[in-house]
Every structure is written in structure tokens, then in C-alpha cells.
């Protein structure tokens, strides 16, 4: 059985499910695109964090279908993560759900461009990237995200631009959270992060940027991330009034302890929220709990984790250093 990606199938980004997924969390036999650690014992497994046990893909889908809001957290440049995201969006439609699909990669500045394009081409995700000048955004190529958007359009699901606008982001960069002003602050139901949350976010930013960020910038980066997560939550709540919403975002935004779900709980009190992270395996970590440290946490900060191979063996800090050098040139 081949996973459909609509009429705009691209080679190399299709997962072929060779056997069905059964109970007890037995992983599907999948043809992965990412080449590293495919034989790792966790690859393909879906982990229920609260139960500390594996579950089947079918069980995961059923639970997501029962949640009003679903976070799907990725590593941006891992193609397998995007194929699995598209697969879950299609599964929700097949389960009778019609959620809006929000993208971290699209800011509210893009809302008009998305609407204009979809008015002309309501079933064609191929040209959406060009319509929003995707090449200039710095995100991985549109072909990574096209199957997700196509899954949404095939299911007649709304596509929502969720992230903080560029002017609002710049206002926070200059003046902190107060730069948003009272109107937007009220709209986002924004609160200051607790001192503990702010400290944890600062530590995560410091580590994920490999110690290359000046200390005087970190506080502003915490403010920006906090405001972006609040904006994404508000966008999901508004766009998902009909039947909830799915968020496509980096795994850090999907975490339950300080990501979008925290803000979404204020935007939609009592609504069911499920968070899934797609996590690359590590040859030195063979137990799911071993991955909590990757998120600077004592426990995995998600409801579910779906383990995948790695896209490469590169040292992320070395890649980050090279990126900085490239920008400098």
C-alpha cells in the first residue's frame, strides 16, 4: 500500500507501508527516506509517554481523532517527519474529522496571499509555496511541506497561517513583550512566563544555538518564542472553530510544558489537546526515556513520540557554526 500524497507526488518522500500496524505497539515496516540508524530498535515505534508504553499507529490515530487540537512537532529538515505528518492529517479526515491545518512556517502576514492562491487553486498545493515566497523564508524546501498541504486540500481542510507577523516580531525584538501593545496582548491572552519557565526557555535557546548567542539577546529570544507560541495558539483557536485544528511546527513548539499547548489551554479552556513529536533516534539511546534530556527535561514533554531514523550524522553545532559563517560571508 502506498501512502497517497495527492496528484503532486514527489519521488523519495513517499513511505510504503509493507505490513499493517497491529497491537502492542509493533511498528510498521516502513521504507524510510532518512538513511541513518534505520535498524535502531526504536525506529518506527510510537510511544505513549504517560503510560510509558508503546502503542500502535491505529491507536494513536484514534486518540488524535478524539482530540480537538493536535500538535505535530517535527525536525524541520527530516523528510520522514513531513510524510508522517501528512499521513496523520489524512487519517484524521478518514476518521471523519475536518480540522484546520496551521503551519508555523506561515505568519499572519501570509494570510491574504494564502487566501488569494486557494481561491484560484483550491486543490493544488504545488503552487502555494511560490504564492507566499517560500524560497525567501529560510525554511526547508516547499517540497517537504507540500504533501501536508495537499493532504489538507484533498480533505477540504482550511490552511491557516499561524505565526506572529513580522512587524509584531520586530516590536518584541525591540521592546520585549510590552512591544505587542495592549490590544494584541489581550487578543493573545498573553501572560508573562513564570521565572522558572523563562529560565528553562533561556537554557534551551542557549543549548540549541550551541552557545553562539550573546547573553543579552537571549531574553529577547525568549520573549519572541513565547509570543509566537501565543500567536499560534490564538490562530489555531480561531481557525479551528468548526472542528479543531492541527499544527505543523518544530517539536519545541509542540511541547506540553511551555509550548503552544500552554497558550491554547487559555484560548480554548477544556478543549482536548494532543501533542506528538517525531524524534530522530540516537545510537546511544535505546530507551524512550533516554530522550528526555534532549529537551532539557526530566521527562519527554509530549503526549506521544514517534521515533524515526536520522537525516544525517552531522554535528548540529557544527552545522550551526557553518550557517553563521555563511551568513557572515
Question: Would 31 be classed as within a structural domain?
Answer: no
pLDDT tens digit sequence for 213-255: 888 899 999 999 999 999 999 999 999 999 999 999 999 999 9
CATH of the domain at 159: 3.40.50.11550
> What span, in angstroms and rounded, lies between the C-alpha atoms of 32 and 45?
13
Does some domain include residue 175? yes
Q: Where are the beta strands (DSSP E) in the chain?
A: 46-48, 53-55, 69-74, 100-107, 159-163, 245-250, 273-280, 304-308
In a domain, 78, yes or no: yes
Q: Classify residue 32: in a domain, yes or no.
A: no
Q: What is the grid cell recorded at 246?
A: 492541527
* Cα Rg of the chain (Å, integer): 19
Whether 37 maps to a domain, the answer reads: no
**Residue 28 falls within a domain, yes or no?**
no
Report the predicted TM-score, pTM, of the whole model to 2 decimal places.
Answer: 0.89
Domain ranges, residue 59: 46-328
- Domain count of the fold of the chain: 1
Distance CA 81, CA 245 (A): 18
Q: Which residues contact 312 (CB under 8 A, 6 or more apart)?
A: 35, 36
Other beta carbons less than 10 A from residue 243's beta carbon: 14
Residue 318 has pLDDT above 80, yes or no: no
The verdict on residue 208 lying in a domain is yes
| Structural domain contains residue 14 | no
Residue 323: pLDDT band (50, 70, 90) is low
Confidence label for 322 from pLDDT (cuts 50, 70 and 90):
low
- 7 has a pLDDT exceeding 90: no
Per residue in 74-115, pLDDT (tens digit) is 999 999 999 999 999 999 999 999 999 999 999 999 999 999
* DSSP track, 192-258: PPPHHHHHHHHHHHHHHTTT-S-HHHHHHHHHHHHHHHHHHHHHHHHHTTTT-EEEEEEHHHH-TTT
Amino acid at each position: 500500500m502506498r501512502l497517497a500524497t495527492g496528484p503532486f507526488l514527489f519521488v523519495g518522500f513517499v513511505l510504503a507501508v509493507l505490513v499493517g500496524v497491529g497491537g502492542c505497539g509493533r511498528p510498521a515496516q516502513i521504507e524510510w527516506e532518512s538513511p541513518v540508524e534505520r535498524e535502531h530498535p526504536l525506529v518506527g515505534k510510537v510511544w505513549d509517554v504517560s503510560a510509558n508504553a508503546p502503542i500502535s499507529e491505529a491507536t494513536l490515530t484514534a486518540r488524535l481523532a478524539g482530540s480537538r487540537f493536535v500538535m505535530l512537532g517535527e525536525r524541520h529538515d527530516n523528510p520522514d517527519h513531513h510524510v508522517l505528518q501528512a499521513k496523520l492529517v489524512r487519517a484524521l479526515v478518514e476518521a471523519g474529522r475536518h480540522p484546520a491545518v496551521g503551519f508555523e512556517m506561515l505568519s499572519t502576514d501570509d494570510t491574504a496571499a494564502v487566501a488569494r492562491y486557494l481561491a484560484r487553486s483550491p486543490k493544488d498545493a504545488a503552487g502555494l509555496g511560490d504564492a507566499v515566497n517560500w524560497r525567501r523564508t529560510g525554511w526547508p524546501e516547499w517540497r517537504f511541506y507540500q504533501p501536508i498541504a495537499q493532504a489538507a486540500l484533498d480533505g477540504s481542510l482550511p490552511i491557516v497561517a499561524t505565526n506572529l507577523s513580522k512587524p509584531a516580531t520586530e516590536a518584541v525584538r525591540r521592546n520585549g513583550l510590552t512591544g505587542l501593545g495592549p490590544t494584541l496582548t489581550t487578543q493573545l491572552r498573553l501572560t508573562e512566563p513564570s521565572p522558572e519557565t523563562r529560565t528553562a526557555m533561556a537554557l534551551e535557546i542557549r543549548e540549541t544555538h550551541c552557545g553562539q548567542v550573546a547573553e543579552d539577546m537571549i531574553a529577547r529570544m525568549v520573549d519572541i518564542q513565547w509570543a509566537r507560541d501565543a500567536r499560534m495558539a490564538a490562530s489555531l483557536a480561531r481557525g479551528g472553530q468548526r472542528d479543531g485544528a492541527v499544527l505543523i511546527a518544530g517539536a519545541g513548539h509542540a511541547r506540553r510544558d511551555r509550548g503552544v499547548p500552554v497558550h491554547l489551554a487559555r484560548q480554548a479552556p477544556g478543549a482536548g489537546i494532543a501533542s506528538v513529536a517525531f524524534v530522530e533516534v540516537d545510537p546511544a539511546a535505546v530507551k524512550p526515556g533516554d530522550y528526555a534530556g534532549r529537551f532539557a527535561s526530566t521527562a519527554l514533554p509530549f503526549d506521544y513520540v514517534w521515533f524515526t531514523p536520522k537525516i544525517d550524522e552531522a554535528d548540529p553545532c557544527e552545522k550551526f557554526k557553518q550557517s553563521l559563517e555563511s551568513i557572515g560571508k
